[in-house]
Amino acid sequence: MEVLFQVLLVLLLAKVLGEFVERLGYPAVLGEVLTGLVLGFFLIQDNTEVLSFLAELGAIFLLFTAGYGEVHLRDLKASSKKAMVATLFQILVAFASGFLLGWYFDLGFLTSMFMGVAFSPTSIGVVVKTLVDMDYLSSKPGTMMLTTAIFDDIIGIFLLSVVVTMAQYDQIPSMMQILVIAGKLMFFIVVMAILGRYVFSRLFTYIHRMHVKESIFAFVVIVALFSAYFAEVMGLHAVIGAFIGGVLLSDIPLAKIENVQSKVSGVAYGIFVPIFFAYIGLSIDPATFYSIGLFTVLVVMMALLGKLLGGFAGARMIGFDNNDSLIFGTGLMARAGVELVVISIGREMGIVTDELFSAIVLMVAVSLLVSPVLLKMAIGRKQASTQNV
Amino acid sequence: MASISGSGYQVQAEKNGSKDQASLQEDCLTVCISTIMSTDLITLVESDPMERILEIFDQYHHHTYPVVSADNELLGIIDQNIILQILLVSRMPRVHHTHLMAVRSIGEDARGVMIPHPVTISSDMGLCNAAELMVKHRIDRFCVVDDTKLVGMISKHDIIKEIYRIRSID
């Protein structure tokens, strides 16, 4: 009964606070994390095993829907080499700023790697609204941001899979161990690609003829869970498998029927994903907020600056002017989904400490609050300089 | 009232001198999609610019248009929902501002805005099967494809019209 009440409270408050934050002009994820923080402070202190399991499903569905609904392999093929240069450079700078910060504070190789991975991805969805409002979506930096975002998730997931596999070793892996990691990853991707190309597509031609209710929807969920489980068996994390499973289904017409997509989205964003974000808030130890020190401030600053400078320099390298490069850099500062998945995995593995966990959640919250404002300012600066010419 | 249900439908059908349910279904089984699909299609070519796409939506009143390559291979579809989302992108709430929507809204040609991989059927499929698929998966229309080439389209309206025609035959 207590569990039912917990789930009821989390969902109710996540939707109410999410709506409130949306109305203020910020993404609902902020309200959902706040839900967990508030409930953790006042009501839910223990017995969170069921919530923890539902949150794990939330992370799986979050990454599955990212692959299933958003990533199109054809877009990857169509994107230019120039975009690749800017993308790789900004990810490299963001990763380095996280890794070096961890190294500087003597957090150890693995924790520093997790910091680097958590600093790397971008949540482009956060600033799309600003780009649309300022009529800048089809501008040079706007289209480049959209191309970059396609690679961002994929590179982020790749880095996560490397670091999760590395976490099985207690020290910097040897050459042999790196080869084993690469071999496992390759094996997983090859098996999944074969399943996607030859098995899943044929399977769905039989599934859609089944007489039981919701057969296609059920099998889409089954593929998500299978991919997640198979990744775990291969020593990767479930979310990595879920993402790849989603990408493979995104090209199968029967698995992408609008009616099925809407049900998958309903299960993900109506139930599990808000629970995942709320559980992030619930996992924050309030005591860490009383002791916010230089480390937390530096985590926030370096994460934001890493993207800003990396994006700026990457755009300059491919010939953008200062204003466009600044717009590109600020547009990449927002973090949300994948970053929170990364640190929750790190925490679950005992690699990310409470202090680091809270610092990165705070960094995500600050990035969500400031990036649309800074992006507006950067676009305003460009418009002012154009008018002066 | 044109309500058709259960035995009421049969009584009405007998009064009209039309077929009963069983023989109607038997007849439907023998009808092939190729005989009733629309073949006089308005299609978009992958390189058609947005202006052309909007012109087509303004000029004709279909819900969905197929997008084909130069050699008539079906690549995707563009429907009224996509056009509305693109036209009203700035009016949409934040939840609709996904990466995919953003990419579509700056798409310059039909390939850039279409929904790839629509569910298709082949022209030798029976009328009953097509109707069953439409109802089961809540799909209003199918592109009919033979060997990756677009050969026609079939909507719920076409199927209802055909069933009505079969019913009326003595």
In three-state secondary structure terms, A197 is helix
Residue A25, min C-alpha distance to chain B (Å): 8
Q: Using CB atoms within 10 A of its CB, is residue A32 exposed (0-12), middle (13-18) or buried (19+)? A: buried
With beta carbons under 8 A apart, name residues in chain B contacting A135: 90
| Contact state of A27 with B94 under an 8 Å Cβ cutoff | yes
Q: Check residues B98 and A373 and name the one with the higher pLDDT.
A: A373
How many residue contacts between A and B have a Cβ separation below 8 Å?
Answer: 70
Q: What percent of chain A has pLDDT over 70?
A: 93
What are the tens digits of pLDDT across the range A213-266?
Answer: 888 999 999 999 999 999 888 878 888 889 889 988 888 888 888 888 889 999
Please report the ipTM that was assigned to this predicted complex.
0.74
Looking at residue A373, its pLDDT comes to 86
Per DSSP, what are the bridge partners of residue A55? none
Q: What is the mean pLDDT of residues A43-57?
A: 82
Best residue of A21, A23, A133, A146 to probe chain B, by most B CBs closer than 10 Å = A146
Question: Where does the pLDDT of residue A61 fall: very low under 50, low under 70, confident under 90, or very high at 90 and above?
Answer: very high
Enumerate the domain spans of chain A: 2-382
In three-state secondary structure terms, A214 is coil
With beta carbons under 8 A apart, name residues in chain A contacting B129: none
Lowest-confidence pick of A117-121, A182-186, A354-358, A375-379 = A182-186
Q: What is the mean pLDDT of residues A39-45?
A: 76
Looking at residue A228, its pLDDT comes to 93
CA B163 → CA A180, B6, B16, B25, B155, distances in Å?
62, 16, 15, 9, 13
Mean pLDDT of all residues in chain B? 80
Cα A326 versus chain centre, distance: 23
Give the nearest partner residue to A133 out of B90, B103, B105, using CB atoms. B90
With beta carbons under 8 A apart, name residues in chain A contacting B64: none
Q: What is the mean pLDDT of residues B139-161?
A: 89
Angle (CA) A15 A27 A218, round 5° = 60
Answer yes or no: is pLDDT of B49 > 50.
yes
As given in the structure block, the two tokens for residue A219 are 């099998």
Looking at residue B13, its pLDDT comes to 46
Looking at residue A153, its pLDDT comes to 75
As given in the structure block, the two tokens for residue A281 are 């808030």
What are the tens digits of pLDDT across the range A18-29?
Answer: 999 888 888 888
Q: What is the mean pLDDT of residues A368-374?
A: 86
Answer yes or no: is pLDDT of B7 > 50.
no
As given in the structure block, the two tokens for residue B31 are 């009808």
Query: Which value, in Å, is the radius of gyration of the alpha carbons in chain A?
Result: 21
Please tell me if residue B119 touches chain A, with a CB cutoff of 8 Å.
yes
Q: Check residues A103 and A70 and name the one with the higher pLDDT.
A: A103
The answer as to CATH 3.40.190.10 being correct for domain B19-168 is no
In three-state secondary structure terms, B76 is strand
Q: What is the mean pLDDT of residues B37-66?
A: 89
Contact A300, A359 (CB under 8 A): yes
Looking at residue B6, its pLDDT comes to 36
Contact B95, A274 (CB under 8 A): no
Q: What is the mean pLDDT of residues B121-134?
A: 87
CATH hierarchy code of domain A2-382: 1.20.1530.20
What is the rounded CA–CA span in Å between residue A11 and residue A1?
A: 16
In A65-193 the beta strands, taken as DSSP E runs, fall at: none
Please tell me if residue B87 touches chain A, with a CB cutoff of 8 Å.
no
Contact A185, A236 (CB under 8 A): yes
Question: Where does the pLDDT of residue B1 fall: very low under 50, low under 70, confident under 90, or very high at 90 and above?
Answer: very low
Question: Where does the pLDDT of residue B19 fall: very low under 50, low under 70, confident under 90, or very high at 90 and above?
Answer: low
Query: Which value, in Å, is the radius of gyration of the alpha carbons in chain B?
Result: 19
Residue A166, min C-alpha distance to chain B (Å): 31
Contact A227, A241 (CB under 8 A): yes
What is the rounded CA–CA span in Å between residue A205 and residue A210?
A: 10
Which DSSP category does A208 fall into?
A: T
As given in the structure block, the two tokens for residue A348 are 């679950």
Question: Where does the pLDDT of residue B10 fall: very low under 50, low under 70, confident under 90, or very high at 90 and above?
Answer: very low
Answer yes or no: is pLDDT of B5 > 70.
no
Q: What is the mean pLDDT of residues B138-152?
A: 89
- As a three-state string, the secondary structure of A240-300 is HHHHHHHHHHCCCHHHHCHHHHHHHHHHHHHHHHHHHHHHHHHHCCHHHHHCCCHHHHHHH
In three-state secondary structure terms, A308 is helix
Best residue of A79, A129, A154, A216 to probe chain B, by most B CBs closer than 10 Å = A129
Residue of B nearest to A136 (CA): B106
Pairing relationship of beta strands B141-146 and B149-155 according to DSSP bridges:
antiparallel
Contact A333, A370 (CB under 8 A): yes
In three-state secondary structure terms, B42 is coil
Enumerate the domain spans of chain B: 19-168
Looking at residue B21, its pLDDT comes to 66
Mean pLDDT of all residues in chain A? 84
Residue A66, min C-alpha distance to chain B (Å): 10
Q: What is the mean pLDDT of residues B127-142?
A: 86
